[in-house]
Structure 1
Amino acid sequence: MTSLLPPVRLTGALCLIDGALHDTDLTIADGHLADMPGADAADLSGYWLLPGIIDLHGDGFEHHLSPRPTAPFDTGRALLAADAELATNGVTTAWFAQSWSWEGGTRSPDKAEEIMAAIAAQRAQFLTDIRLQIRFETHVTDGHDRLLRALARYGVDYIAYNNHLPEALEQARDRPDRFANWAASQGRTPQQLLDIIHAAKAHDPQVPDLLAALAPQLAGVGVQMASHDDGDAETRAFFRARGARICEFPTTPNAARAAKDAGEPVLMGAPNVVRGGSQAGNIAAQDLIEDGLCDALVSDYYAPALALAAWALADRGVCSFSHAWEMISTSPARIFGLTDRGNLRAGQRADLVIMNPATRRIEGTIANGQIAHLSGGAAARLMRPRTARALAAE
């Protein structure tokens, strides 16, 4: 049994196409946007139809895995709950960011492979297109063969280089209370965690050559590479030389500018925009956007922030709503080479959001031609019997 929408023509709404809202009809048929004038019509006057949100980095799913640090839930069920949350917030394609780290526990290679397997097992039940980004800690110097096998087996197509050792050492020195809480969440003493950090740090001399060897192997299995938290142009150059062509969460304008000067896309967090700055004290995403140094926004730790950020940027006069929405849909598609989505054109996947601009609520999300979320007035209009719609049209 298929759950695809029957052919339907959405009329009356304003549609975001080529950077502007246009008064035109959209037709959905067989999971795609189509040119089919005779399809049954549904009147969505007063609504906006927008490309589905494409989230290139989000770790909010962790809250579903462990709502409390000591209360984990079944991985498969947790992923289904996270999938429903995405759909409610207009996300039709998402990469869950999972660590492969020296930290162990929920950020261990074992946990990463468990999540890979769970995504594969649940894929047929997902409402949205969920993929995995591996946040690879650069100082995991063994097990690269295992990583490559796992990526190839589960079709993982995205990896981000991370090096959180400086941050960890800084926290141990300056915030011993937070460091102790971090250790306790892993069932370790602060000294045990510090020993692990120092052991990883001892691999400093090996890291450049190991990453240089790993990069072509990653590319060979179809993996795109990014670097995370670049602090300066030198760091960006280091990771660029090791295959990372996406700059994710640069912490300074210099790092972002170095990426842009090299023609590389820069990703920043939508929560940073909504809250007016970084919760970690780094550069404000809005400043980078105003300076033309940010190409796309990602959910980071809070999926609702994606749509909220588009409204915030428009309200603050930073850019038009249309441009802001493209930063969470069309631009991510272009950055990742997804030619089948991110636009509302015939032949594309039917990935779209039904926005009520009066309330700013997402009342509907259609993912690959299937209803993933539907509520409010949009639900009433789309669910009207066909005969009633036909009579209304006459």
Structure 2
Amino acid sequence: MTALSLTLTGAQVLLPEDGLVPADLSLADGIIQTDRAGRQIDLSGFLVLPGIIDLHGDGFERHIAPRRGAMKQMDEGILSVEAELAANGITTAVLAQFHSWEGGVRGPEFADQVFGAIASVKDRIVTDLMPQLRFETHMLDDYTDLPERIAGWQVPYVVFNDHLPHDRLAEGRKPPRLTGQALKAGRNPDAHFEMLLSMHARRDEVPAALDTLCAALDTQRVRMGSHDDATAQIRADWRARGAQISEFPETLEAAEAARAAGDYIILGSPNVVRGGSHKGNVSALDLITMGYCDALASDYHYPSPRRAALMVAKSGLVDFAGAWALVSSGPARVLGLQDRGALAPGQRADLVILDAETHRVVATLAGGRVSYMSGDIAARFVG
């Protein structure tokens, strides 16, 4: 597919050194150019910003499994995911897929289908989609062949979760919603409960198994992170295994420990938009204020990264450039993507165009190709 050759004029452009200023921006061959290229497009009344890089999102689940058993053409679901991503200004997206005892759309078999579908649509989409595996740490029987499966899935990023309700299991009590969860996984509720109890009983085996697994993934150059760190010690344990990304730390203590050690901290955009965590965890806004945030991720809601960055800028916590960096250059740095995240010559032509007054997304370009365009701005490009 051919990338556009254009020079965008008249807009406010977010540049690495100058901030948001009136400037021309040229693109050709999929990258930002130093010299003028192609025909000129007047974008007066618009903002041109680096495309959003979403480090972690599972909002795609509703596209690939709108109802249990309803979606048979998985690749069609991934194509509809891309449409939503692009409409929200996202040019690079990490799709966070579970490998979990929870079963259903979070089960190992479903993960295999999702990763296969992502690979199958690569040549048909504009947005850069990256698969992430979210592995439940107490699935000890799955450890042996997991590195080989991750390599086969071409997964470059693994995050570790533990969603077992340990407190209840320690008391021998059934967790809430167990029956519905079991039925979604296709299990008898009693058998599901016994499985949870068995995994809980083997919890002391998990640390050593993780040490071995993480060492293997490190040799495969897989990027690793932890999820919902609650204490400084938990963060230190993950760091020792090579997991240097802390996704959504639950406490100030964990975030402080991550920052002190130079680990990356990812926070949830919905936490910012809502004004706090829906689970009562530490406020993302508070952590941003203290400098404990490298990137904001969509988590479960794709419109939130744009909204969160704009809210942070409006609040005055950081300037506009610093706020937008949380969804562009910051995530690029976390993922080691040196070719994107800023509108600078030689970088990928990944950009989102916002209405300067409403801040609504009107167009998104990834690698110099249009992934989304809506409304009157289309006439400026095609007229």
Query: In 1, distance between residues paired with 2:206 and 2:326?
Result: 34
**Cα offset, 1:16, TM superposition:** 0.9
- Equivalent in the alignment of 1:311: 310
Q: Which of the numbers 14, 17, 24 marks the counterpart of 1:16?
A: 14
**Cα offset, 1:167, TM superposition:** 6.2
Change beyond 3 A, Cα 1:184–1:143 = closer
1:278 is paired with a residue of what secondary structure? coil
Asked whether the 8 Å contact 2:143–2:209 carries over to 1, the reply is no
2:158 is paired with a residue of what secondary structure? strand
**Cα offset, 1:187, TM superposition:** 3.4
Change beyond 3 A, Cα 1:44–1:94 = same
Change beyond 3 A, Cα 1:338–1:289 = same
**Cα offset, 1:70, TM superposition:** 5.8
AA aligned opposite 2:201? A
**Cα offset, 1:208, TM superposition:** 1.1
2:180 is paired with a residue of what secondary structure? helix
2:101 is paired with a residue of what secondary structure? coil
Percent identity of the aligned residues?
44
**Cα offset, 1:73, TM superposition:** 4.7
AA aligned opposite 2:243? A
2:141 is paired with a residue of what secondary structure? coil
Asked whether the 8 Å contact 1:15–1:22 carries over to 2, the reply is yes
The 5-angstrom pairing of residues 181-192 of structure 1 reads 181-192=180-191
AA aligned opposite 2:14? L
CA deviation vs aligned residue, 1:70-111 (integer Å, no higher than 9, x gap): 644521111110011000000010111111123333222221
Query: In 2, distance between residues paired with 1:276 and 1:347?
Result: 37
Query: 201-210 or 62-71: which moved more?
Result: 62-71
Change beyond 3 A, Cα 1:274–1:171 = farther
Asked whether the 8 Å contact 1:364–1:374 carries over to 2, the reply is yes
**Cα offset, 1:45, TM superposition:** 1.4
**Cα offset, 1:209, TM superposition:** 1.2
Q: TM-score, normalised by structure 2?
A: 0.94
Query: In 2, distance between residues paired with 1:63 and 1:241?
Result: 36
Change beyond 3 A, Cα 1:171–1:274 = farther
Query: In 1, distance between residues paired with 2:108 and 2:280?
Result: 29
Task: Identify unmatched segments of 5+ residues in structure 2.
Answer: none
Query: In 2, distance between residues paired with 1:175 and 1:357?
Result: 52
2:216 is paired with a residue of what secondary structure? helix
Query: In 1, distance between residues paired with 2:311 and 2:153?
Result: 37
CA deviation vs aligned residue, 1:105-139 (integer Å, no higher than 9, x gap): 32222211111111111111122000111001111
Asked whether the 8 Å contact 1:172–1:179 carries over to 2, the reply is no
Q: TM-score, normalised by structure 1?
A: 0.92
- Equivalent in the alignment of 1:160: 159
CA deviation vs aligned residue, 1:155-174 (integer Å, no higher than 9, x gap): 21100011111368479989
- Equivalent in the alignment of 2:222: 223
1:103 is paired with a residue of what secondary structure? coil
- Equivalent in the alignment of 1:132: 131
1:328 is paired with a residue of what secondary structure? coil
AA aligned opposite 2:328? S
1:314 is paired with a residue of what secondary structure? helix
1:325 is paired with a residue of what secondary structure? helix
**Cα offset, 1:15, TM superposition:** 1.2
1:376 is paired with a residue of what secondary structure? coil
**Cα offset, 1:305, TM superposition:** 0.6
Query: 103-112 or 219-228: which moved more?
Result: 103-112
Report how many aligned residue pairs link the two structures: 382
Query: In 1, distance between residues paired with 2:10 and 2:336?
Result: 31
1:315 is paired with a residue of what secondary structure? helix
Give the superposed CA RMSD.
2.0
Asked whether the 8 Å contact 2:51–2:351 carries over to 1, the reply is yes
AA aligned opposite 1:323? G
1:142 is paired with a residue of what secondary structure? helix
The 5-angstrom pairing of residues 165-204 of structure 1 reads 165-166=164-165, 169=168, 177-204=176-203
**Cα offset, 1:189, TM superposition:** 4.3
1:165 is paired with a residue of what secondary structure? coil
AA aligned opposite 2:6? V
Query: 25-34 or 196-205: which moved more?
Result: 196-205
Query: In 2, distance between residues paired with 1:263 and 1:364?
Result: 36
- Equivalent in the alignment of 1:261: 260
Query: In 2, distance between residues paired with 1:71 and 1:169?
Result: 33
Change beyond 3 A, Cα 1:262–1:346 = same
Change beyond 3 A, Cα 1:280–1:69 = farther
